Amino acid sequence: MTGPGVHTLEVPAGAALQRVDRYVADVTGLSRSHVQKLISAGNLTADGLPLKANAVIGPGAALRLVVPEPEPLDLAPAPEIPVRVVHEDADLLIVDKPAGLVVHPAPGHAGGTLVNALLAHAGPSGFGGIAGVQRPGIVHRLDRDTSGLLMVARTDAAQHSLMAQLKARRIKKTYLALVLGEVAAEVGRIEAPIGRDPKHRTRMAVVPDGRPATTGYRVRERFVGWTLLELDLVTGRTHQIRVHLLAIGHPVAGDPVYGTGTSRRGPRPGPAGAPLERLFLHAWRLQLTSPSDGRLIRAEAPLPGELERVLVGLRAGATDLGGPEGRR
């Protein structure tokens, strides 16, 4: 990882001709977008002359790169928002996000987000600089109504590594979801392209010209009228799990956008259970490679209490029914 300061880079003998922004990103560990910003600011020179991002360089080229100190993020920390950290090291945090918490500030929602909470948790020096700014590196996102595990990079190099792992599909993300109906197959795979719903532009749908999307699933537990699934998110399209499960006739319980009637309301609370008051979708398990030393990192977040109590009610209801048509 190339930190703040002045760095001299020399292209080794035998190297192929390539764009200078790509070369600098590869040898420094900085993201390509950050390198391009540095180049635009005149911070990359050869023989005293500033280079353009698309300049082609070859063996023997000597470069001078100036990396400024990261700028502080103009965002208020939120110490009142608790952060449950599942894994923490010099490269990244893995946190267990509660349902209802927005991940990142946006127009009309500048505060009260996970990023605000992370700034309070880690302190002013807790993030080494993402694209030149001291901020948490949000590598992927969870919908506001989804709970569970989220990776947060602490450095530009860590974010670069995690993004590359995501692109190569080397990070395994497994979710838990309660769905309407009794899913027939114990194990399955949904391959259907996802894009904007042509009739409802704020929603996503399976459409012929959408982006390729793949979701694997396994039945974890069966109930009368409902199924608890483990889902592997192979690709990462917007609302992918919710859209794919709707497409096969098993919408996620408690979904206010894609559910209707019974699926939106969720199961009736059993004798010892509780009503479902949120989307029953939880990012349960993550498996990835450490950006620094290549070791395998596994993290897991148990179902939140409000979802586990729904299952308790379903199990109690199945026991009351008894016989082969109860819990299976």
In this prediction the pTM is: 0.81
Task: Clarify whether residues 305 and 176 are in a common domain.
Answer: yes
Task: Clarify whether residues 211 and 180 are in a common domain.
Answer: yes
Give me the tens of pLDDT residue by residue for the chain, a chain 328 residues long: 567 789 899 999 988 999 999 999 888 878 888 899 889 989 999 999 999 999 999 999 999 998 887 777 667 888 899 999 999 999 999 999 999 999 988 776 778 899 889 988 887 677 876 766 667 888 898 999 999 999 999 988 898 899 999 999 999 999 999 999 999 999 999 999 999 999 998 999 999 999 999 999 999 999 999 999 999 999 999 999 999 999 999 999 999 999 999 999 999 887 777 899 999 999 999 999 999 999 999 999 999 999 999 999 999 876 544 333 344 4
* Eight-state DSSP code of residue 256: T
The enclosing H or E element of 4 equals none
Task: Clarify whether residues 30 and 96 are in a common domain.
Answer: no
Task: Clarify whether residues 123 and 240 are in a common domain.
Answer: no
Q: In this structure, is residue 189 part of a structural domain? A: yes
Task: Clarify whether residues 189 and 107 are in a common domain.
Answer: no
Here the CATH number for the domain that contains residue 45 is 3.10.290.10
| Catalytic residue numbers, as ranges | 143
pLDDT of residue 111: 83
Q: Is residue 297 within 8 Å of 290, Cβ to Cβ?
A: yes
Domain closes at, from 148, 167, 186: 167
* Residues present in the chain in total: 328
Here the CATH number for the domain that contains residue 186 is 3.30.2350.10
**Number of domains the chain is built from:** 3
Task: Clarify whether residues 293 and 316 are in a common domain.
Answer: yes
CA 279 to chain centre: 17
pLDDT of residue 322: 39
Q: In this structure, is residue 328 part of a structural domain? A: no
Range of the domain at 21: 5-68
Task: Clarify whether residues 138 and 102 are in a common domain.
Answer: yes
CB contact set of 131 (below 8 Å; sequence gap of 6+): 31, 33, 34, 37, 156
pLDDT of residue 323: 36
Task: Clarify whether residues 279 and 161 are in a common domain.
Answer: no
Q: In this structure, is residue 11 part of a structural domain? A: yes
Task: Clarify whether residues 296 and 193 are in a common domain.
Answer: yes
Q: In this structure, is residue 42 part of a structural domain? A: yes
pLDDT in tens, 133-148: 667 888 898 999 999 9
Q: In this structure, is residue 312 part of a structural domain? A: yes
Q: In this structure, is residue 146 part of a structural domain? A: yes
Task: Clarify whether residues 110 and 10 are in a common domain.
Answer: no
Task: Clarify whether residues 155 and 194 are in a common domain.
Answer: no
pLDDT of residue 302: 97
Rounded CA separation 152/158 (Å)? 9
pLDDT of residue 105: 81
Q: In this structure, is residue 327 part of a structural domain? A: no
Task: Clarify whether residues 313 and 193 are in a common domain.
Answer: yes
Backbone angles phi, psi at 88, to 5 degrees: -150, 130
Domain closes at, from 125, 148, 167: 167
pLDDT of residue 77: 83
CB contact set of 280 (below 8 Å; sequence gap of 6+): 177, 178, 252, 253, 254, 266, 307, 310
Domain closes at, from 127, 148, 167: 167
